[in-house]
A and B are shown apart, each in its own frame.
Chain A
Amino acid sequence: MPDHIVTAFTDELEHLSANLLRMGGLAESMIMDASRAVATFDLELARDVIKRDRSIDELEVEAERAIIRLIALRHPMAGDLRAVLGAMKLAGDIERIGDLCKNIAKRCLELNGDENRAAVKGIERMSRAVSHQLQMALDCYLRQDIEAAKTVLDMDDDIDDHYTSLFRETLTYMMEDPRQIGSNTHLIFMAKNLERIGDHATNIAKAVYYMVTGEATTGAKVESRLSGDEGEQR
């Protein structure tokens, strides 16, 4: 797409998107570090993750200011309007991801280091999948790629499955040894947080789909657009 006649407008939109990608990168590293803190019982790292949430919050405030400025001063239209509205959604989703990572790190501080290894491994696996999903979602935002957005949506089912099996497994442990109920509950909440992060990554992919196509659509519509038989729908 050609640049705006007013170059400052293009600069501001680019700055906004760079800001969101920076936020997203921070969130991605928080997911991995929070789960590493749990796996290695590294309380220092957990405290560091808690601290980093503040940077994401600050970036969100900055992004919101930029969005309000763009709407008030530039009156974005059509694709620009969708880019700005999409950015607003992204900022909110990434900020929530930061909060959820912070919550995982806080729960880590409540553990005592001898939790059931299987569940901890499960958390690690899940966080790898979730951080990969978020990375893909941010990548599809960067490249405005609706094919990639579709892949991100598909990944969410896997993450939900991860969560369900981890939940069942942990319940079994709790029934076998009631002394572990406290720490295992923390692990379940961590898994639930990761599952929620996956939902936010999915929201990002949906926002990208809207930005590119201008349509908030059904799953079926996404399918048909991607398989190339959108002609009938127009």
Chain B
Amino acid sequence: MDGNMEHFTQTKSSARADTASAPIKVDCQNIDVYYGDKQAIEDISLQIEDRSVTAFIGPSGCGKSTFLRCINRMNDTIESAKVTGKIFMDGANINDPAIDPVLLRSRVGMVFQKPNPFPKSIYDNIAYGPRIHGLASGKAEMDEVVENSLRKAGLWEEVKDRLLAPGTGLSGGQQQRLCIARAIAVSPEVILMDEPCSALDPIATAKIEELIDELRERYCIVIVTHSMQQAARVSQKTAFFHLGKLIEYGDTERIFTNPEHGRTQDYITGRFG
């Protein structure tokens, strides 16, 4: 009758096997990062899918931001930092000395925790990158790049009548979308976001999250967030870091309903780990 075991239905063919993966955009292999003598990242290997959102979560100091900064070689700018291991983007090792980090950063854009528009007009904030990389010839083309970038960042309607006003005069949420537009303007392939919403109110946060979801169709996005709800809402894959190690990486849905590791479970359910 109803209770018979034959009537069990199986909802997933295999609960532990994560969904078939999309093409890999960034392939990180055996990454170690040292700040002086202190090892901040220990032997992390991680494959990030193209056209999807990958969230990095973990307690403060677990290395998630450090790891994120490896992907566009931002750690190069820190005197004491040393990065070993290989990071392949479309097959090329970005840590190769022959790679120009400035060019790399035009392919891998970054958005920071605190909105940091240049003290220039809204227009020039967007035009700055395309200008130095020579991505637009002539005013008409530049106007188009600016408009397109602002549109993709969902900011165009709000600022189209005051493009020459200073970017710093916008609200916090608008400034953050301006920074995203600025990152998009140089046509990157990957966008790194380091806690992009932590300084924003819930409505501005929702707008950014909606934007992230739209950008996912075109870009590979990696987001570091302290809000697990946010990771759950915006990402398809989640990586949990702890004490410089990658503890668990998999489909976001699985991580938040049935994580494999006790440490992941303790962290996301708010227990002492």
Contact = CB atoms under 8 A, between A and B. Distances in A.
Contact of B8 (A4, A81, A156, A222): A222
A214 B258 contact: yes
B106 to A, nearest CB: 38
A157 B270 CA distance: 41
Contacts of B14: 233-234
Interface stretch (A20-28, A70-78, A121-129, A177-185): A70-78
Contacts of B1: 156, 160, 195, 199
A130 B3 CA distance: 13
A195 B2 CA distance: 10
Contacts of B266: 1-2
Interface residues of B, number: 31
| Secondary structure call for the B interface | loop
A117 B264 CA distance: 59
A41 interface: no
A62 interface: no
Nearest to B256: A77
Contacts of A216: 8-11
B3 A82 contact: no
B136 interface: no
A44 interface: no
B5 A153 contact: yes
B6 A219 contact: yes
A78 B265 contact: yes
Given A214-B15, A222-B8, A233-B14, A76 B3 contact: no
A221 B9 CA distance: 11
B3 to A, nearest CB: 3
Given A78-B256, A216-B11, A233-B16, A2 B271 contact: yes
Interface of A: 1-6, 9, 75-82, 153, 156-157, 160, 195-196, 198-199, 201-203, 206, 214-219, 221-222, 233-234
Given A76-B269, A78-B264, A234-B14, 19 more contacts: A1-B266, A2-B266, A2-B272, A75-B229, A77-B228, A78-B258, A81-B256, A82-B257, A153-B3, A156-B4, A160-B3, A195-B1, A199-B1, A214-B257, A216-B8, A217-B10, A219-B6, A221-B8, A234-B16
3 smallest beta-carbon distances between A and B, as pairs: A214-B258, A219-B5, A202-B3
